[in-house]
Amino acid sequence: MKVFIDIDTQIDFVFPAGALYAPGAERVIPKVAALNRYAAKHGIPVISSVCAHTEDAGEFKVWPPHCIVDTVGQKKPAATLLAAGQYIVEKNELDIFSSAEFVPLLERLDADECSVYGVLTEYCVKCAILGLLKTGRKVKLFTDAIHALDPQAGAAVIAEFVAAGGNLVPLPFDLQEE
C-alpha cells in the first residue's frame, strides 16, 4: 500500500516566528497541505512526524529549544492537518525511526511504497528517506515539497538518496485544483 509521509512540518520550523525557523520553509506549507489533501481524497494514509521534546531534551545541547510538547511551536500548521486518515508520530530525536510507533504503523498499513516530503532535507527528511530505503520499501521524494536549511547540504542528501535507489518526483497534480 502507498503511504505519504509528512516530515516535521511544524510551526517552529516553518514559520518566521518559530524557534528553529529555516528561512523560506513556509513556502512548503501549501504544497504539504495539498499533498495531504490529495492523499486523503485518494484513500492514501498520511503519516506525519512531529518533534515532541521535553524542556530538557538532549537535542538542545546542539540546537536551540524547539518543538517543546504542548507549545504552539510544536503544532503543525492547521492547513496540513486532516480530519481523518492522518497518523501523527511523535519523536524526540531527528530520526523518525527513533519513534517506537513508526515501524509498527508502517507494518500495520502494509506500506510498501512511501512518498516523503517536509523539512529539513539534510536532517529529519534524510533520516526518513534513507531509513525507509534500508527497509526495502520503494521510496519517492516530492522535490517540490521539501526544504533544506543549507541548499548545498540538501543537494548532497538528494544525490545520496538517488544513488541508494530512491526516486525523485515532482508533485503529481496541479496544486491549484486540489
Could you list the pLDDT tens digit for every one of the 178 residues in the chain?
999 999 999 999 999 999 999 999 999 999 999 999 999 999 999 999 999 999 999 999 999 999 999 999 999 999 999 989 999 999 999 999 999 999 999 999 999 999 999 999 999 999 999 999 999 999 999 999 999 999 999 999 999 999 999 999 988 655 544 4
* Dist. CA 43–CA 35, nearest whole Å: 12
CATH number of 8-155+163-172: 3.40.50.850
Nearest CA-CA partner of 133 in 109, 167, 105: 167
Q: Residue 115 is inside which H or E element, if any?
A: strand 113-119
Q: Which pLDDT score is estimated for 177? A: 45
Greatest alpha-carbon span in the chain: 44
For the chain, how big is the Rg over CA atoms in Å? 15
Q: What is the pTM of this model?
A: 0.95
